[in-house]
Amino acid sequence: MDVLTLLRDGGDPVALARGLIGWTFLVDGAGGLIVETEAYGRDDAASHSFRGLRTANAAMFGPPGTIYVYRSYGLHWCLNIVAAPGAAVLLRALAPTAGLDIMAERRGPVPPHLLCAGPGRLARALGVTGADDGASLFDPPFALVPGAEAPSVLAGPRIGISRDTERPWRFGLSGSRSLSRPFPRATH
DNA sequence: ACAGAGATCATCT
DNA sequence: GATGATCTCTGTG
């Protein structure tokens, strides 16, 4: 099942998270290669959707392709793409390829490979905020460009969670320097 | 290189 | 009152 079919018909967030590695994500022309993602399911104790529909997580229950933005630790914004109602993919890191100047402006003096190396950094660099919550991936300013070929993808446990910590639902582009953290016990 | 703390707020207990 | 799908800065080895 390819990414476009998953996004059109809705489907497994794990398949979408893995499939998005190597694609390019842009907001207003700024962004880069998706090098790190995480999947969150509907019946997944680590997921914001686990306790059901709330005002803050309503966008996560929208149709496939809905943008779900939440505030993390009271101060960062993090961006998800809905795979199916209650299931989504967290975009954790990009390798910057476009709009480096505007992203550097938003992020301050950091090395280019760290501009989007982490979910909070990524949202900051792309200018994504709570105002984007509920928007559609298929409409401007968002854009998703297919990857060239099947990349080498690493998998490992998700980061920063305290429940269902062992599911290998974090995915990364092998060899990328823009990962938020390395994959210690990485598997293909 | 690694560890710890502070920032900051909606939601949950 | 505690807890996060985090980041940055600071202190120490």
The residues spanned by each domain of chain A are 3-173
Query: Is residue A58's beta carbon less than 7 angstroms from any atom in nucleic acid strand B?
Result: no
| Res A187 pLDDT > 90 | no
Query: Is residue A131's beta carbon less than 7 angstroms from any atom in nucleic acid strand B?
Result: no
DSSP string, A42-109: TT-TTSTTTT---STTGGGGS-TTBEEEEEETTTEEEEEEEEETTEEEEEEEEEEEE-HHHHHHHH-S
Confidence of residue A185 (pLDDT cuts 50, 70, 90): low
CA A92 – CA A96 distance, rounded (Å): 13
Residues 70-89, chain A, CB closer than 7 Å to nucleic strand B:
71, 73-75
Query: At A169, which amino acid appears?
Result: W
Query: Is residue A184's beta carbon less than 7 angstroms from any atom in nucleic acid strand B?
Result: no
Q: What is the mean pLDDT of residues A107-136?
A: 96
Query: Is residue A107's beta carbon less than 7 angstroms from any atom in nucleic acid strand C?
Result: yes
The Cα angle at residue A118 between residues A99 and A52, in degrees rounded to 5: 115
Domain A3-173 class, CATH top level: alpha beta
Which tens digit of pLDDT belongs to each residue from A97-114? Answer: 999 999 999 999 999 999
Distances (CA, A) of A62 to A3, A109, A186: 18, 36, 32
- For chain A, what percentages of helix, strand and coil (3-state, to nearest 5) are there? 20, 30, 50
Distance A134 CA to B12 C1' (A): 23
CA A56 – CA A70 distance, rounded (Å): 7
Q: Are A91 and A16 in contact (CB under 8 A)?
A: no
Q: What is the mean pLDDT of residues A26-48?
A: 96
> A144: closest CA among A16, A9, A10, A12?
A16
Query: Is residue A122's beta carbon less than 7 angstroms from any atom in nucleic acid strand C?
Result: yes
The Cα angle at residue A19 between residues A44 and A57, in degrees rounded to 5: 35
Query: Is residue A52's beta carbon less than 7 angstroms from any atom in nucleic acid strand C?
Result: no
Residues 132-161, chain A, CB closer than 7 Å to nucleic strand C:
158-161
| Res A68 pLDDT > 60 | yes
In this prediction, residue A1 carries a pLDDT of 76
